[in-house]
Amino acid sequence: MVSIADLNNTNWVQWCPGCGDFGILIALKGALVKLGIEPHQTVVVSGIGCAGKLPHYIRTYGFEGIHGRVLPAASAINMANDRLTVVGVGGDGDGYGIGMGHFIHAMRRNYDIAYIVHNNEIYGLTTGQTSPTTKKGVKTKSTPHGNIETEVNPIMLALASGATFVARGYSGDIPHLTSLIAEGIAHRGFALIDVLQPCVTWRKDLPYELYQKMVYKLEKEGHDPSSFEAAIKKAQETERWPIGVFYKTQKPIYTDDIPFIKEEPLVKHDISNVDISKFIEEFM
């Protein structure tokens, strides 16, 4: 039986004291324990940024890629061995900025992966520049007179792009976030969990106290996650910040239409009789 201790390691965690990333790390570990998924059956894939360090702090297989490329790596791992639990983690700049194209295509293809985005509305690792989710008018290092761009709405984007599980959590509510991540991982298909994550260093205008005041749970107000129209309406809400499952549905995943992967994971296929010499000669 899996325990939190099985997922701990001795690496020094280098996030700022009070960072919301700690809550996400704890929630991810709790979700894997809740689902009974062994460390050797899990791969955590990340990009660059504060969130990108997470695979260093959890005892599973890990892959730290380059900026914005979480989902190409995660989808490749899923395609190679669909028996593994693949979890992508990254920041709002990583996923909704340079990785935006990959984000949209991964959702429309419906890869069977969970994607946890640490959304603190800032580039934290590079010391406080505006990110795609930074609200219009906010002053940052890169926008000293106020951000002139309209922010990205990742929930709306996910809904429009065909994601089959769309949720938002809050890193200050670890039990709720743990349940959301567990549900997203267990979902068959692409699952987005966008996490409101306070950056105590570079977004002092978004303290925990403000999040505590503004967030509310969708499930406590009778939201129907099977209704696409209701999800669209909730995704546009700004006077309060809804957390929970916005939308959940089922449709075939990408590998359902690839028979030889359905029968057996790609990594298990016998390639001893495959001659690749002509390709080596051509490309090497």
**What CATH number does residue 146 fall under?**
3.40.50.970
Per-residue pLDDT tens, the chain, 284 aa: give them: 899 999 999 999 999 999 999 999 999 999 999 999 999 999 999 999 999 999 999 999 999 999 999 999 999 999 999 999 999 999 999 999 999 999 999 999 999 999 999 999 999 999 999 999 999 999 999 999 999 999 999 999 999 999 999 999 999 999 999 999 999 999 999 999 999 999 999 999 999 999 999 999 999 999 999 999 999 999 999 999 999 999 999 999 999 998 888 788 888 888 888 888 988 899 88
Tokens of 58: 């959890």
For tokens 């340079």, name the residue.
Answer: 98
**What is the domain count for the chain?**
1
Amino acid 209: pLDDT: 97
Amino acid 66: pLDDT: 92
pLDDT in tens, 127-145: 999 999 999 999 999 999 9
Of residues 118, 111, 225, 97, the one with CA closest to residue 163? 111
Using the CB atoms, write b or e for 110-143: b if 16+ within 10 Å: bbbbbbbbbbbbbbbbeebbbbbbbeeebebeeb
Instruction: Please check whether residue 26 is in contact with residue 19, taking contact to mean a CB–CB distance below 8 angstroms.
Output: no
For residue 32, give its domain range. Answer: 4-283
